[in-house]
Amino acid sequence: MRTEPPTRRTQAARREATCAKVLGATIECLAELGYFGTSIAAICERAGVSQGALFRHYPTRRDVIVAAAEAIGRHHLESFAAADLDLRRDGYRRFVELIRGICRSPTHAAWREIMIAARTDDGLREAASAGLGRFEAAILELCARSLGLGEAAAQPAAVILLSVMHMFDSEAVTVVVYGNAAIEARRIEWATGMLERELGVLGN
């Protein structure tokens, strides 16, 4: 399995394969090494691809990052679709655990690294905001679907659910830097109850 026999593959397939390896490695690097540490060399080493190969498919480092943001955005959409959550059927505990799990995942760490970099990098921001926004879009869609409301009527709920997402997104960073297990345990309890109280009213 080390060097597979020279299987005959179409050019498109070869291209897609190395692009996938590059994007996967980029997401891993962002999660483990941060935006700063995600160098072309680090990406290529992890992907098992030469730098020349990478630059054949992506003209600049920024384009690699932007493509990774797109991939992460799609991944987030799929995660929510796969969870197939119905807030009224499942209750809010599952939602809270789902959001917290996603926020603490490596993929989301990569998403966050790009978000933070985009704040101070105008070009990256313009190029990547669509892909990054898909995480927000995923939750908005979840609201409409899960509550069986139109987009306008779902907005009050969306504000609340997005706020919970922001809460766990920011918490996930502090967990690593100066974790406070007692507070985190209380938070997940409180968030569940709070959603029941705040969204229960809307559910009528």
Partner DNA sequence: TAAGATAGAAAGTGCCCGCTTTCTATCTTG
Partner DNA sequence: CAAGATAGAAAGCGGGCACTTTCTATCTTA
Residue 20 sits in the site that holds DNA (CB under 7 A): no
Residue 156 sits in the site that holds its own copies (CB under 8 A): yes
Q: Please, what is the minimum distance in Å from the beta carbon of residue 4 to DNA?
A: 11
Nearer of residues 42 and 137 to DNA, judged by Cβ: 42
Residue 42 sits in the site that holds DNA (CB under 7 A): yes
Using the rule CB under 7 A, give the single segment among 43-51, 106-114, 133-141, 164-172 that binds DNA: 43-51
Interaction mask 163-202, its own copies, x per CB under 8 A: xxxxxxxxx-xx-xxx-x-xx--xx--xx--x--xx----
Q: Please, what is the minimum distance in Å from the beta carbon of residue 46 to DNA?
A: 13
Q: Please, what is the minimum distance in Å from the beta carbon of residue 127 to its own copies?
A: 11
Amino acid residing at 10: T
SS3 of the chain: CCCCCCCCCCHHHHHHHHHHHHHHHHHHHHHHHHHHHCCHHHHHHHHCCCHHHHHHHCCCHHHHHHHHHHHHHHHHHHHHHHHCCCHHHHCHHHHHHHHHHHHCCHHHHHHHHHHHHHHHCHHHHHHHHHHHHHHHHHHHHHHHHHHCCCCCCCHHHHHHHHHHHHHHHHHHHHHHHHCCHHHHHHHHHHHHHHHHHHHHHHHC
Interface with its own copies (CB under 8 A), residue from 125, 141, 144, 149: 125
Residues in the site for its own copies, rule: CB under 8 A?
Answer: 32-37, 109, 112-113, 115-121, 125, 129, 132-133, 136, 155-156, 158-160, 162-171, 173-174, 176-178, 180, 182-183, 186-187, 190-191, 194, 197-198
